[in-house]
Structure 1
Amino acid sequence: MKKEKLLAILRLQATKNIGDVIAKKLISACGSPEQVFNESISTLLKIPGVGSHALQHIFDEQILKRAEEELLFLEQSNYTYHYFLDNDYPHYLKQCIDAPILIFMDGNIELKTDRIISIVGTRTITNYGRGFCNQLIKDLSPYHPIIVSGFAYGVDISAHKAAIDNNLQTIAVLAHGLDEVYPKAHKRYIRDINTNGGFISDFWHNEPPIRENFLKRNRIVAGISKATIVIESAEKGGSLVTADIANSYHRDVFALSGRVSDEYSKGCNNLIKQNSAHILTSAEDIVNMLNWDVSQKQVKQTALFINLNEQEQKIFDYLSKQGKQLLDIIARDCDIPVYQLSSILLEMELNGIIKPLPGKLFEV
């Protein structure tokens, strides 16, 4: 990436009142991050959804200076970074409207798989929760999923450790910069996680772990994966926020049920009761719901024995790779108008190629 482009992205990322959604609007309207800073305020104000409040600090010299310092650090560090329009930006995260315009990575992260799951929960994990988490990841290991969590006490670090024990890639999403360590007690896990995956953050390298950052990073935990699993949670907690975000992204959410009298099962039980999560009893629930038990051989044989036209084959290949998906998302990703897609899906359903699911979902 050119130096000028990266500097412009960093300036947008650091400007107060400009979040990721507005930053993307500015970039889209102007054509590039660099061009945003070549336009006048009056021109930028004409962009739909961008008001004067958002542009108050856009040409602030102090922000420019900070961005130049961060740029210099990145040029001298071993960290990698990914712009939201780049091909190597995480696939599922890219689909989220509020995904970071720039993320930073450290370690040996390889995201070329759709078997990515996030595991979250209470920091006060019980023996029941820890035992289930360990067994769940062990039972899922033959499918080689990537395990994502937040590097916190309790469920998070249990998930990371279980992934490492089963030779699975694990990714820790941080609520601070990559040069910071929080909690300090988890410093001893950094090498193993970097070897078996790595760390992701959208905060600059020396950003401290302040309270609001933890809620902000939850959108990455929910957005980067195919499904979010809540192991244990009290009636209120950050993991429930992550589950809510995952639902807003139309991702699957699973929750481990527990006794109604158990404090750290109440949040999970409520998710299930409110139909905000599938009940989780074993690894088989995830394998079946996410279609991990469908082999590539089966997919290829189905394609061979059915005569599909170009659009049907496009939809079939898409759903074979993605698993179940919403009507609107299929239309967008396959570039087929919804009105036209509906009739194609009906024809494919009648031919036994796909099946509809509740909530305007379809799967092969």
Structure 2
Amino acid sequence: MTDQDLIPLLALLQVEGVGDIMAKKLLSHCGNAEAVFMTKTSQLAAIDGIGSVLLHKLKDKSVFEKAERELQYIKSNQINISYFQDENYPERLKQCIDGPVLMFTSGKIDLKNKKTISIVGTRQITSYGMEFCRKLIEDLAPLDPVIVSGFAYGVDIYAHQLAMEHNLQTIGVVAHGLNQIYPKVHKKYVAKMEENGGFMTEFWSSSNPEKENFVRRNRIVAGMTEATIVIESAERGGSLITANIANDYNRDVFAVPGRTTDKYSAGCNNLIKTQKANVLTGAADLVYILNWDIETKTKPVQKQLFVTLEAEEQKVYDYLLKNGKELMDIIALRCEFPIYKISGMLLNMELKGVIRPLPGKLFEAI
């Protein structure tokens, strides 16, 4: 997008009363941002939802000065821009009616043909939450997913750290401009994050981490991913807002169950109880419900030498070795294991490199 296109677009987004939904209506009606400012008021009045106050605000020329200042910041700091109709804009976010018109990004973000999940939760993560998160990302690592979170304390930053440990791309969606870091203590992770993904925001350099910005940020976390995972949450919390938004966007939501007496499992248990989230007991649940093809081109799993299989895994391996390609349901039936157990077992065996998945939910021994 050229400066000539970008300045009126930035100016439009600075008009008081023009949110993402209205901006998209105006752009659709007029063709581009420059045309919005040149179109007669009488013609704009025909747009659904526009009123006399907003029509008057569109005559405010000071928004162009703000746009020029922001563009100067963007160019001098090498900020990348994603327009909601561009190829580099998160594909799933395009499906959200209130998705940001513009996204500002830094780092090396690549979402093309990527499995993308968001991991959210309490800022007071417990040892139970840490262990579950660690095992989850460790088991998912061979699938090379992109891990999205909010770069906040607790579950967020722990998920980012684990993703980087496993050389996975990870994206922090922040509730302020890219000219600052919040919380400041997390500044030490910025450089590595930008090497392993980066940061996204809809907020300008003039935006501070205000309370209301975090709620707006949550819709991006939920909208740009195919599933939202809540690791731990109290009865009320920002991660529950993200889960509810994900449900509204028709995304899959997963919650980690916990003891009824645990404060930071209350939110997750309630999501499950009210059928707003799938139960998540491990990576196999996620892979099964999302119908992910475990085989990956970017990180091919090679058979390990001297692999140790559990007795039940050995039974499945011997069956596949003898019978060739087989459906998961048939494997469960022939080997006399329940479906919920066989799905996790097959994932573990695939990670050990002794079996591989095939199209059509088939599996075969390597």
Instruction: Compute the displacement of 1:155 (Å).
Output: 0.4
**Partner SS, residue 105 of structure 1:** strand
Q: How does 1:261-340 map to 2 (within 5 A)?
A: 261-293=261-293, 295=295
The 1:295/1:139 distance shift into structure 2, 3 A limit, reads closer
CA distance in 1, matches of 2:169, 2:114: 13
State the partner residue of 1:69. 69
CA distance in 1, matches of 2:278, 2:205: 37
State the partner residue of 1:350. none
- Post-superposition CA distance 1:7-49 (Å, at most 9, x none): 1211122222111001000000111111101112222111122
CA distance in 2, matches of 1:8, 1:216: 23
Instruction: Compute the displacement of 1:113 (Å).
Output: 2.3
Larger radius of gyration: 2
CA distance in 1, matches of 2:17, 2:287: 42
State the partner residue of 2:134. 134
The 1:296/1:208 distance shift into structure 2, 3 A limit, reads closer
- Post-superposition CA distance 1:173-200 (Å, at most 9, x none): 0000001110010000001101110000
Over the aligned positions, Cα root-mean-square deviation in angstroms equals 1.8
CA distance in 2, matches of 1:48, 1:159: 42
Q: How does 1:336-347 map to 2 (within 5 A)?
A: none
Give TM-score, length-normalised by structure 1. Answer: 0.79
Contact 1:233 1:268 in 2 (8 A): yes
State the partner residue of 2:163. 163
- Post-superposition CA distance 1:105-139 (Å, at most 9, x none): 00011111240000001111111111111111011
Letter in 2 for 1:52: S
**Partner SS, residue 37 of structure 1:** helix
Tell me whether 1:107 sits opposite 2:107 in the alignment. yes
State the partner residue of 2:246. 246
- Post-superposition CA distance 1:44-75 (Å, at most 9, x none): 11112222343342222332211111112222
Letter in 2 for 1:208: N
| Greater CA drift, 70-79 or 138-147 | 70-79
**Partner SS, residue 117 of structure 1:** strand
**Partner SS, residue 112 of structure 1:** coil
Letter in 2 for 1:176: H
Contact 2:117 2:146 in 1 (8 A): yes
Contact 1:234 1:263 in 2 (8 A): yes
**Partner SS, residue 200 of structure 1:** strand
The 1:54/1:274 distance shift into structure 2, 3 A limit, reads farther
**Partner SS, residue 233 of structure 1:** coil
Instruction: Compute the displacement of 1:296 (Å).
Output: 8.0
Instruction: Compute the displacement of 1:3 (Å).
Output: 1.6
CA distance in 1, matches of 2:137, 2:35: 46
CA distance in 2, matches of 1:296, 1:129: 28
Contact 2:142 2:296 in 1 (8 A): no
5+ residue gaps, structure 2: 298-358, 361-366
Letter in 1 for 2:43: T
Contact 1:18 1:55 in 2 (8 A): no
- Post-superposition CA distance 1:317-358 (Å, at most 9, x none): xxxxxxxxxxxxxxxxxxxxxxxxxxxxxxxxxxxx99xxxx
Contact 1:180 1:206 in 2 (8 A): no
How many residue pairs end up in the alignment? 300
State the partner residue of 2:236. 236
Q: How does 1:19-34 map to 2 (within 5 A)?
A: 19-34=19-34
**Partner SS, residue 55 of structure 1:** helix
Letter in 1 for 2:262: D
- Post-superposition CA distance 1:208-238 (Å, at most 9, x none): 1111100001111001111000001111111
Contact 2:143 2:295 in 1 (8 A): no
Ranges of 4+ aligned residues in structure 1 off by more than 3 Å: 53-56, 293-297
**Partner SS, residue 54 of structure 1:** helix
Contact 1:9 1:101 in 2 (8 A): no
CA distance in 1, matches of 2:270, 2:58: 43
5+ residue gaps, structure 1: 298-352, 355-364
CA distance in 2, matches of 1:244, 1:275: 11
Tell me whether 1:222 sits opposite 2:228 in the alignment. no
